[in-house]
Chains A and B, each alone.
Chain A
């Protein structure tokens, strides 16, 4: 059963915003390459799998996996997701914080969040 879901990036340790921009610029180039010729790069899965599985892995048959979308994680998406978690009690007994987009998120180029 498919359970595809969204991933997000967390910045910790106060990295230089210019470095973060450069990092994502490089990832955008990588995403283009993966889109164009996924079969060339699926070999890299072998770098991170436990050794016991390597003999059985034919990564030529594997898909590209995660895809980065260079679109904003908007305030609406943030708030709807926060609410979705709260409604289901997935942090019951734990502090979820204020759920304030402007405090929790940082934008280095897109609109809607403060840097």
Chain B
């Protein structure tokens, strides 16, 4: 059996454990390497329309342990693309962002407006989960053509897309977007 492959994936835990020597401390013989290492992330994340987290499980992931939203892992495991680890889960803060100059101020304003999300990725399901409190499914207009995380972030900053969903810790550069509920701009993402 080869070395245990650990890939950081846009959260702090793997980096902290590596920095503090915890993987060695627990006796793990491992290799630490990023899935996207050495790639230009904006381009690497610009996946084709309707290609997201689920499709990456279908293609096969390199790391022995990887993460995605629980919905996609749930179905991917049900389809036999791996085993869902049942002893822990995590909670990922995220939000729908719009540019500061946008006229959209309330969730109801998103009726019929294309919202950029990752196909069969956390943003896809969580946008529906949040917006179905405000409107019927037929009024939720999701766009899957802008790829995943950093591709979508770049498009927001460059004003190539309108609303989109991003992790909340991964803040939008100052002045380039605000959380939709922060109508007074008091918490403009920075």
Contact = CB atoms under 8 A, between A and B. Distances in A.
Interface of A: 1-13, 15-16, 19-20, 22-27, 29-31, 33-34, 41-42, 44-45, 47-50, 52-53, 56-58, 61-74, 77-78, 81-82, 84-85, 88, 90-91, 95-100, 103-110, 112-113
Interface in B117-169: 120, 122-131, 137, 150, 153-154, 157, 165, 167-169
Nearest to B36: A48
A69 B39 CA distance: 31
A65 B28 contact: no
Contacts of A90: 71, 120, 124-125, 128
Contacts of B186: none
B33 interface: no
A11 B95 CA distance: 27
A39 to B, nearest CB: 11
A112 B88 contact: no
A78 to B, nearest CB: 6
B127 A3 contact: yes
Interface in B27-42: 27-30, 34, 36, 40-42
Interface string B9-50: 111111111011011011111100010100011100000000
Contacts, number: 309
A85 B71 contact: yes
Contact of B82 (A10, A44, A96): A10
A41 B12 contact: yes
12 contacts: A5-B122, A6-B92, A9-B84, A10-B83, A12-B65, A23-B4, A23-B6, A23-B30, A34-B16, A63-B93, A97-B79, A105-B83
Contacts of B84: 8-11, 73, 78, 104-106
A10 B81 contact: yes
A22 B124 contact: no
A69 B180 CA distance: 27
Contacts of A15: 1, 4, 64-65
Given A30-B13, A104-B83, A47 B90 contact: no
